[in-house]
Each structure stands twice: as C-alpha cells, then as structure tokens.
Structure 1
Amino acid sequence: MKVLVTGATGLIGSELVKLLLQNGVHVHYLTTSKSKLEKEENFKGFYWNPASGEIDANAFEEVETIIHLAGESISNRWTSTNKQKIIESRVLSTRLLYQFLSKNSHNVNHFIAASAIGIYPNSLEKVHTEEDLEVDNSFLGYVVAKWEDEVDTISKLDIKVAKIRTGLVLSSKGGALLELIKPIKLGLGAALGTGNQYQSWIHIYDLVHMYHFVLQNKLEGIYNAVSPYPISNEGLTQAIAKQISKPLFLPNVPKIVLKIILGEMHYLLIASQNVSAKKILKKGFQFKYATIEKALQNLLPLKR
C-alpha cells in the first residue's frame, strides 16, 4: 500500500509515518520546505505550496490513500495575521488536493483528514458525539467548521472520507503536555479558571494507531480521537503533579488573568468539551493508554 501524507514532519505526522513504515506502508509526503525533501525507497518527499497552488504531481503516483494533517499551529497568539494563517493553511491545502484529484487521473479511494474537537460547543454538562451538528461560537469552532466543509468536497469525487476530530494530544516530544509541566516543575502549578472544564485528551500512541486503524479498515465518516475517560483541568493538573512528585498549593489562575496574558487565545484553556469515544470503540479500536494515569506513567516515567 502507498499513502500520501501532508504534515508528515510535524509532531503527529512524524510518529504516524514511523508507524506506517513499520507496517510495510510506502509513504509519500508533501512539504512546503524544499530542505525537508528526502528520497528513500519507501519514504519520498514532494514539494507543494498551497498558497500559490503549486503541487508535484509525482506525489500521487500509485497512492491509494491520502492522510491530510497539514495546518498552522493554533497555539501561536491569535493575532489577525496568525488567524488568517490558521484558516488558510487548512482551507487552501485541502482545496489544492481537491483541485488536483478532480482534474487528474489517480488511484486515490480514501481520504483521512485531521480535524479537532474544538468544533463542539463549550459545555460542562453535554457529552458530545460525532452526530452533534451545533458548532461552537468561537474562532476555533469557525476554523474547524470551514476546514471540515472543505474536506467534505473530496467526497464528491467518489472517494471515502474520514475526519478525525482530535482532542488534547499528550506527547513527551512536544505540544501541550510539555507546556503544562513547566509551571508545575517550578512549584507554580495551578488549575486554570474554575478548573472544572473538561479536557478530552489522547496519548499520541493511541492517536497514530487510530489513524492506522481507520486506514486499515477503510473507515469513513467522523471519529472522535479522544480517550474514553476525559478529565477536568484541575484533575489533569493534579495528575501531572502527582506523576512528577511536585506539590500544588497555589489557587486557581483566574480567567481574567489568562485573558490578559493570552488575549482571545485564552479560550483554548477554559473551554470545556466532554467528548465521547464510543463510535471508534464500537468499530473495534482498542486504546493502550485509556486512563490519564497510564498515559502519564508512559510519558513521564519517574526518574529513580
């Protein structure tokens, strides 16, 4: 099998590529950086530039599935310029793939796209499933809705489309976990806002294995990529502190302080999304790190 991956050099993409190669999948990848182009027997890079509409047609040779992970990080401060980059990186890249596939002969029959649980409305009570149609009234909700709308155009080409709505990804190599650890290590750890907001999370091992599972089983539709056991922000903070043997004694950081420091982006820290994993479980997927305790024990092993 040959797969084309976008965003292959990012935190999630690099782990997914490793897993695919280990399982005998040949990987082509698209990158906007010519310095990141490699040409190995089972791993070949091709240049593209979604902003200018440039893409190397050779990237699609013998490819049956596209895994589309590319997108500007949402963790950069939400200035008007960065907001535009966040939107365009997702919309224009997906549009370019659609345009190529619609105008050229190819073997692609499956399209797996990254998405985010940020589309679900902020709520302390509701448990969100893939059937929910309401979109969160926030910048992130707007971004994910536009992103998914663009992905849906691929299905017009008689290609199976799967959308992986991803929660807070926990990894020891980057992302949210390393940022959460910093103040706790310094003895300055504290829950954010009320601390009651749900954080639906997933270990990066389970996330990339979920992509592989969707690929192997030719699944289509929306799937939530979250652990079956979401946790509150306060619970997550306490679990990290316990795992690295650090005390927590400071009061919660008030929402207004977060807003002053981060501006509109503070919403990422105080929004609550309790998201269900039942749909992917019913398909037969099994989590290796279902509980936060198991995940943190793996990612933050105690130093003896």
Structure 2
Amino acid sequence: MISGTIIKGIGGFYYVDTGEHVYECRARGRFRKDKIIPLVGDIVDIEINDSSKQGYILNIHERRNQLQRPLVANIDQVIIVFAIKRPDINIGLLEKFLVYSEYVGVNVVVCLNKIDLDENNEVQPIIDMLSSVPYDYICTSSLKNIGIDELKNKLKGKVSVFAGPSGAGKSSLLNSISPGLSLKTGDLSRKTERGTHTTRHAELIKLISGGMVVDTPGFTSFDLVDIKEEELQYLFPEFQKHVNCRYPSCMHYKEPECGVKKALEKGNINPMRYEHYIQMLCDLMKNRRY
C-alpha cells in the first residue's frame, strides 16, 4: 500500500500521483456505499496491481478543507480571477466568491486580469473595496506580461485553486506562468460577451515555478445555498470591529442604533461592500426554507 494525491478524476477513474508515478485507480465499492466521493487534492492510500499497474483507492485521509465549487480538497488558497473587461467584471459575483471563501476558511488572492484593457481606470473602485477589508489582490495581463512574476511568487510552495467566470483568462494566466502547460484557451462569444468553457474538469497541475494549481471550469453564476442569513455578517470581516449595536441579534439592516451602519456613515466601511451585504442578506431571506 502506498500514498499519493489525486490530481484528476474522470468517469470513475482517479489519477493518483505518488511522487514517482501517476497511477490510474478506481475507488473501492465501500466508498459508493458510504456515499463518499474521492476529490482532486485528496491524500489517499492505494493498492497497485503489479501486472496492470492500475490500482484501487483503499483509504482517504482526513481533509484539511473542502470546496463545493469547485469540488476540490486540501488547498492552501483560492486565486479568484476576474477580467476587468471582455467580459465586464461582475462585482456581485466577485463578492459571492469572497463570502464563500470566508465560509470555508480558505485564504484568498483576487486577480484582476486583462488590466491592459482598463483605459478609464475602472479598476480603482474595486481596488478601494478590496483594500478596505483588506483582501490581497494582483492586477495582471498575460498579453502585456503585467503582474505575472508577482502571481508566480504567490503560488510558490502552495496548492492553489484558480476559480472565476468563463472568459476571465485563467488558462491564459497559467500558460504565462508555466508555458509548457499549453492549456486550451477560448474566445468570447460575440453575442453574449461571455467566455467559452475551455476547462472541462478540475485537475491538479504542477508549475515549473513551484507550487500546484487546480484549473477549474468557469461559470457565470454562484449561489450561497449553504449559508444561513444569520451567519452572513460574520463573513464580512470588516464588520466585526463595529458590532457595538444596541441589539445583540442585530443583522445590520433595518435595526436602529446599529454599529455597522454608524461605521458606514463615518466612512469606515466601504459602501459597495455594505450594499452587496444587503443584497445577499435579502436573497437569503427570500430563499429561506422552512
């Protein structure tokens, strides 16, 4: 029995990297019986058939963390990639990513890509918003080689997930970081200004510059279905310094004498962040299940 890391899973087959070899494996039937799905990033124990060189997953080690979208385990950080232009950045979707990352307890780096297209400095309000929390961010352009070295340094020695909407340029950035990858990139739809889905499955990739990344399929929507409305405020870290509210159960919405709203009035909380908090809170209240 040997141990390794699942780097890819397709059609019931899992590819396990032991450091010396990558083995094609299947999961034992007991995993299906117990409704346990092996994930990319899982540390597993495998048994190898000497004649076929194929194996079976016998055991999955305890996970440090797990993301639901993308469905991966044991990561150190999420690189959230959004294009400033083509397609235009969806700040509401970015905020949902940030909230979800807080929910699962994973560090975040926001990558504001295609910065070379930002002729009117439209990125500045977004930078101000991120800095107010603060969240780590990088402005990049694979076309102009902007921010690529800084991104490489963020990835060294870590297991990272590249996530974000289709067309944001995730695969192009990874190709710039490790040219030997030759990941497929897609064009934007002329009609919708959305990117085509060039990544079909999650896969753990070793980088020449150091570290490993999961390039994931892009998407255009993201629902916070697992988060309860009373939990949401704790996923906005900057709120926690201002919760000297009159009511202990204050949701920072319609309640009087709210410390968070007072901080907002004084300019100590970014208005864009608070606006998105209220939007998410109302959505959670609307979709509440009884």
The answer, yes or no, to whether TM exceeds 0.5 is: no
Bigger-Rg structure (1/2): 2
Q: Say which structure is richer in strand.
A: 2
Q: Between Structure 1 and Structure 2, which shows a larger proportion of helix residues?
A: 1
TM-score by structure 2 length? Answer: 0.28
Larger RCO (alpha carbons 8 Å, 6+ apart)? 1
